Amino acid sequence: MIITEQAFLRADGRKGIRNHIVVAYLVECAHHVAREIVYPYREQGVHLIGFGGCYPNDYAARMMRVLCTHPNVGGVILLSLGCESFNRGLLREAVAASGRPVETLVIQQNGGTRKTIAQGRHLLETMRAEVARVPRAPLRLDEFIVGTVCGGSDATSGITANPGIGRAFDRLVEQNAGCIFEETGELIGCEDIMTARAATPELGGILRESVNKAARYYTVLGHGSFAPGNAEGGLTTLEEKSMGAYAKSGASRISGLLKPGDIPPRGGLYLLDVVPDGEVRFGFPNINDNAEIAELIACGSHVILFSTGRGSVVGSAISPVIKVCANPETFRRMSEDMDVDAGRILEGRASLDEVGQEILELALAVGRGAPTKSEALGHQEFVLTYKSFEPIGPSCLPGV
């Protein structure tokens, strides 16, 4: 199945559904200047991302590399203060090797705030014209990657929106699309039913260990992925929340396990392990929903399906976010921010299959260029923190 004839063809053969220019700051000291460069172009496909630390580790460097070369990105401007430890030369080389136009601005060399902002906007004008000439090509469904995350969950999330996304995932996987679910810290208690779906027994053991790792991580921290708002929304236990989060994965066979920055090698369903490896030393694994969204995008997701019961207004840089609202009261109150009213299931106005089909059709429409609510509202949130991961092994991707 062809989603669109007008996808943006990249030099590596991958295809994007958007053609954004990314302005990427490489240290927090350059954040303000980067934001000012982007501001007049924020509704013209120019997005702001960045890393706030002065000393990036391998995780941060890899995340920036794969995000700057994501299929939805057509060009990149790197913004450096000049004295940070981020290796701007290596990042520039990686972007250039991907065939994208890339420019680097160093504030200390360029004369400070105003001069760098002016130069950055001049470069954007030139790059926008160049990016507009990117060739187009058909995007097949088996080249499409969709990620899913939930935030602001309540007691309705596991009944309507999450299983609705699961139904959409099942239909996407049937047609060999790539589907990624995550939140291992919210899969605690689901190890047995999840590992039973693994493509191989070895993969099943890896999936189980990823959840056990999350449980150990939270035990050391002294708290889990259960917020006061979840309780106020009617969730009673971590197990109840886990079952709801698990429902987003659907019922398909699990083809592999990924870590941030790993791209699915083929269609199928994949678990993204977002909890750092090794000793607990980075604090809460994901400080907010956008940190998780960034990792899903780093794995190649063209679109993100975001389930919420209590309501959320975040979108994302680079890849569009589709809001699937679980609670019909929340949808009525926040309809300008919500894309799908999955709460109709509770009121007998739609079946689970109908909502799943609506989610699927909307994902495909966004793939053809339709804007999501968060895109129309200008949401481009982005978060990147410190983590550390060991590379995945061959047992994580059986059959490759």
| Mean model confidence pLDDT for the chain | 94
If one compares 291 and 157, the residue with the highest pLDDT of the two is 291
How much is the pLDDT for 154? 82
Look up residue 363 and give its two tokens. Answer: 């994902």
For residue 200, count CB atoms less than 10 angstroms from its CB and return exposed for 0-12, middle for 13-18, buried for 19 or more: middle
How much is the pLDDT for 286? 81
Given a cut of 90, whether residue 356 has pLDDT beyond it is yes
Given a cut of 70, whether residue 264 has pLDDT beyond it is yes
Look up residue 140 and give its two tokens. Answer: 């097949």
Distances (CA, A) of 13 to 47, 71, 146: 23, 9, 18
Q: Please compute the mean of the pLDDT values over residues 77-104 and round it to a whole number.
A: 97
How much is the pLDDT for 116? 98
Per domain, the residue ranges of the chain are: 20-133, 139-396
Given a cut of 80, whether residue 343 has pLDDT beyond it is yes
Given a cut of 90, whether residue 188 has pLDDT beyond it is no
Instruction: Quickly count: other Cβ atoms within 10 Å of residue 20's Cβ.
Output: 23
How much is the pLDDT for 189? 86
If one compares 239 and 37, the residue with the highest pLDDT of the two is 37
Cβ contact 306:149 at 8 Å: yes
Q: Please compute the mean of the pLDDT values over residues 193-208 and round it to a whole number.
A: 96
Question: What dotted CATH number matches 20-133?
Answer: 3.40.50.920
**Could you report the per-residue pLDDT of 107-120, keeping only the tens digit for each?**
999 999 999 999 99
The set of long-range contacts for 226-233, using a CB threshold of 8 Å and a minimum separation of 24, is 229/152, 229/154, 229/310, 230/153, 230/154, 232/154, 232/310, 233/152, 233/153, 233/154, 233/155, 233/156, 233/309, 233/310, 233/327
Given a cut of 90, whether residue 285 has pLDDT beyond it is no
Given a cut of 70, whether residue 138 has pLDDT beyond it is yes
pTM of the model: 0.95
How much is the pLDDT for 245? 78
Cβ contact 258:273 at 8 Å: yes
For residue 173, count CB atoms less than 10 angstroms from its CB and return exposed for 0-12, middle for 13-18, buried for 19 or more: buried
Q: Please compute the mean of the pLDDT values over residues 24-38 and round it to a whole number.
A: 98
How much is the pLDDT for 127? 98
How much is the pLDDT for 234? 59
How much is the pLDDT for 51? 97
How much is the pLDDT for 236? 56
Rg (CA), the chain: 20
How much is the pLDDT for 33? 98
Q: What is the DSSP string of 147-202?
A: EEEE-S--TTTTTTHHHHHHHHHHHHHHTT-EEEE--GGG-TT-HHHHHTTBSSHH
Residue partners of 248: CB distance under 8 A and separation at least 6: 148, 150, 162, 163, 165, 166, 169, 181, 305, 307
Alpha-carbon gap, residue 361 to 370, rounded angstroms: 11
Q: Please compute the mean of the pLDDT values over residues 327-333 and round it to a whole number.
A: 96
Residue partners of 239: CB distance under 8 A and separation at least 6: 188, 189
pLDDT band at residue 122 using 50, 70 and 90 as cut-offs: very high
Alpha-carbon gap, residue 119 to 121, rounded angstroms: 5
Distances (CA, A) of 312 to 110, 148, 366: 39, 14, 19
Residue with the two structure tokens 């999450």: 162
How much is the pLDDT for 338? 97
Hey, CA dihedral for 72, 160, 234, 275, is it positive or negative?
negative
Q: Please compute the mean of the pLDDT values over residues 150-163 and round it to a whole number.
A: 87
Query: 12: left (phi > 0), else alpha (psi -120 to 50), else beta?
Result: alpha
**Could you report the per-residue pLDDT of 226-243, keeping only the tens digit for each?**
566 565 655 555 665 556
Residue type for position 208? R
Residues of the chain with pLDDT > 90: what percent? Answer: 85
Closest CA to 121 of 35, 31, 25: 35
Given a cut of 70, whether residue 52 has pLDDT beyond it is yes
